[in-house]
Structure formats: structure tokens, C-alpha cells
Structure 1
Amino acid sequence: MDTDPRSRTEQWERVVSQPSFGGDGFQTEQELRRWSADVAAKAQRYQEMQAEVARVAVTESSRDDVVRVTVDATGAVTDLVISDRSRELPGAELAGLVLTTMRRAQSRITDEVADVMTRTVGDDPQTVAAVVGSYRERFPEPEPEPERPTASTVEEMSLGHVEDSDSPARPERPRPPRRSDPDEDDDWGGPSIFS
């Protein structure tokens, strides 16, 4: 005998939510109407959920407000604003800023969709968990936005390393002169591939 009150409650909810056919004609008709109304109400809630999810939009700005990106519930970019200050940035840095900001906006879609689903179909936790899990997989948390170098940092940087102000500057070594080779093709600067 099952003594767990939760499982008895779950069994009762299943019995109550399922139509009980096979009684007299009036009871069967009433059960069919109740069951049909429940199905219609659930379908209406799912349509509301779908419409609300379709209206989800998230806007995110880069740390220094150079880039602002808006994405919809599918993660597609619906608006992109790049300020005039972007002219001060190298192209690769600006591209990275756009992508990082877009990914941050996309990662926030999951929370918005979870809120909509909890409000509309929260009584179906399996569906909510499946949809929210799918969004988390598609739009994971992005890497943190890298710090932009300051003017003093840029001045100290030279060819990928930071100069130590206490150490003397290394003299540049002159490059050896290029030897002339009779097999060398003057047009390309290398040996002929036909030799």
C-alpha cells in the first residue's frame, strides 16, 4: 500500500484531470465538456506564451557605450548602434566589441523567456525546463568583455610586450645584406620553382 501523501495527491490530480468515460450518458457528456474546456484553455495559454516569447527583445551596451545591440527571441540582431567614438578603435577591436555585446544580449534572452513561460504555462514544469534548457544551450554566458587599454598602457606597449622602463633599450641588430643568387628570380625575390 502506498503511504506517500505526495504520490496519492499526484494520482488524484491525474484522475481529476483525465475524463472519466463509461458512466451514464449525462456524466460522460459533462466529462467531455470539462476535458475539452481544459484542453482549449491550455492551448490558449500556450498561444499566449508563444506570442509573448515572440515579442521578447533584449538590448545590451558595451562597457564604454560605443556599441549597442538589440536581439529578438531567436537571437537575431534587430538593431545595432555604433557611436562616433568607434572611429578611435581599430577595426578588429570594434568587431570584437560588437560580437561580445551581441553575445551578452543573447545570453539574457533565456531569463526573459523563462519569465514569460513561468507566467503563462508555469503549471507545466517539464515544458518550461525543456524550453529554458534549450535557450541556455543556444545562448550561453559570454566571456567577460576585455578591458580596453588606456593611453598610458598603449604608450608602454611595443610589438606585443611591455617595455620595462628600468632596463636599457636594446640596440637593434642590423639585418644581414641579401646575397644575390644566380638561380634567384628577380621578379619574385626567391628561387625559381622551375629549376
Structure 2
Amino acid sequence: MVSQPQFGGDGYQTEQEVRRWAADVEAKAQRYQQMQAEVAAVSVTESSRDGVVRVTVDATGAVTDLDIGDRHAELSGAELSREVLTTMRRAQSRITGSVAEVMERTVGDDPQTVAAVVGSYRERFPEPEPEDGRHTGSPVEEISFDRPDDPGPGTQPPRRRPPRRPRPDDDDDDNPWGNGSILS
């Protein structure tokens, strides 16, 4: 923590206090720049339990590398998608710990900043749901809005033709729109 300079003494003492305070501020700024650079360099790699998927994410949670092993052919598309997302979320959830280590090492003397940054990461990248199939959150229900005339999934509804407009009885060659206006 940077302490405030003590003014009010003689000119020499005040000058020394200002120099010490300025040096403390400069040192703190350098530590924050170091923290920022180290946080930006955070990268986490996680593998799926079966080793088919490996995902690397950066400090923002963005996927920077995705490797899918040859055994992916043993999985359905849905299973492979689930493995990729689960592995990505596990990697993202580990970012918080890496950022916390950097924060403690570089600016640990500023607990409010450390708590705010780590809390922000914890909120953005929570622990993923357990992989054993148990869902700990609220249950999700599937809702469908079936229409009475809906033939069901996978079938095309019958095509309906728009009603035909009545034609005017009189075909006047001078008026291509018939007897009525073009809006009728």
C-alpha cells in the first residue's frame, strides 16, 4: 500500500517525503503493469477424461487451441460436442485460480483489487456441472408449442395456397387493371 506523504515539516523533509511517495507510486504502477502482462499471458489447457478432446483457453476464456483425437469417430456428433463444451468449461473454470496466483504475487498488498478481479473471473467462469450426469441446478424442462394442425416433427406441413382474388368481369384493353383500381 502506498502511504501518503507527511507534509508540514521543513522543506528538506517535505521534499524527501514527496520523492519517497512518488517512488512508491511508480513501483506500484510497475507492479500493476506486471500483473496485467502476466494475467494476459494466462493460458489453461484441459483434456477430456477419455483424452479425445484437448482445449486451451486464454485469460479471456477464448479457445486458442482445440485438438480432437482420432478416437472421435467412436463418438456421436452430440457426444463429441458435449465433450468439447465440457472440456472448454473445465479449462475456463481454472482461469480463476491462475489469475488469483498472479494477483497475489504481483499486487497482493491491495486486497480490494485482488478480490474484485478474482471475483469477476469467478463470476464469468464458474465451476462446471459435475460430469457424472447429476445436474445440481434447477431442472430443465422441454417445452413445445404444438399446434393442433401440426403434423409432428420431421414432416412437412401441407402447402396452403393463398386465396385467389376475384377478377373483374370486364377486361378493358385500355385499362390493364380492369374496372377497379390497382389496389382492389
Over 3 Å counting, the alpha-carbon distance change for 1:37 and 1:90 in structure 2 is same
Structure 1 position 125 matched with structure 2 position 111: yes
The answer to whether structure 1 residue 139 and structure 2 residue 125 are counterparts is yes
Q: Label 1:114 to 1:193 Cα distance change in 2 as closer, same or farther (>3 A).
A: same
Q: 1:24 to 1:140 in 2, by over 3 A?
A: same
Give the Cα separation in 1 of the matches to 2:157 and 2:104. Answer: 69
Give the SS at the match of 2:67: strand
Match of 1:72 among 41, 47, 58: 58
- Alpha carbon RMSD of aligned pairs, Å? 2.1
1: CA distance, partners of 2:43 / 2:20: 37
1:100 aligns to 2:49 (yes or no): no
| Structure with the bigger percentage of helix | 1
**Cα distance, 1:88 vs. partner?**
1.5
Q: 4+ runs of 1 displaced by more than 3 Å? A: 188-195
Residue ranges of structure 1 left out of the alignment (5+ in a row):
1-12, 148-187
Count of aligned pairs between the two proteins: 141
Say whether 1:35 aligns with 2:21: yes
1:193, distance to aligned residue in structure 2 (A): 5.8
Q: Which amino acid aligns with 1:117?
A: M
Instruction: Confirm whether residue 22 of structure 1 aligns to residue 8 of structure 2.
Output: yes
% of aligned pairs identical?
77
TM-score normalized with structure 1 length:
0.67
Question: Cα distance, 1:21 vs. partner?
Answer: 1.7
SS at match of 1:144: coil
Q: 1:26 to 1:146 in 2, by over 3 A?
A: same
